[in-house]
Amino acid sequence: MLQAGQNLVTDTLKMALYTALADLGPATTVYTTNNEIVGTGYTAGGELVTGATISTDTQTETVYVDFNDVSWPGANFTARGALIYNVTQGNKSIAVLDFGSDKTFTAANNTVTMPVNTATTALIRFP
């Protein structure tokens, strides 16, 4: 749940990964360590999320946000979902991601790929 007072472009953002047992959803307001994954190449708290860009589609009057893909070099773990949160603003949550099934991260397959940056497909959209 994105909360007011966050600057997605200048604040420090992170992505933490979680097991299928994590209880993440609309009520998740801050980063939590409950059921955060543990594994080779993963540090508690996750990785930095960079490259936030905010765009506007004037036809649909939609504001949308894109981020760079997030990688874990040397990864060897499994995650079911993720939380993007704002370190600068007291670890407030920005977005909860459900991968739909367990995702195995390895040295060769270690990236959460962000969706295409458009008004209809971007990860975060405000109509």
Helical ranges in the chain per DSSP H: none
Which H or E run includes 66? Answer: strand 62-66
8 A C-beta contact, residue 49 and residue 60? no
Q: Which of 21, 28, 69 is nearest to 47 (CA)?
A: 69
Distance set, CA 104 to CA 55, 70, 75 (Å): 32, 15, 9
Q: Please give the distance of CA 86 from its chain centroid, rounded to a whole number.
A: 10
The pLDDT tens digits for 110-121 are 999 999 989 999
- Kindly report the pTM of this predicted structure: 0.92
Per the listing, tokens 């270690």 go with 110
Q: Which parts of the chain register pLDDT below 50?
A: 1
Which H or E run includes 97? Answer: strand 92-105
The pLDDT tens digits for 58-82 are 999 999 999 999 999 999 999 999 9
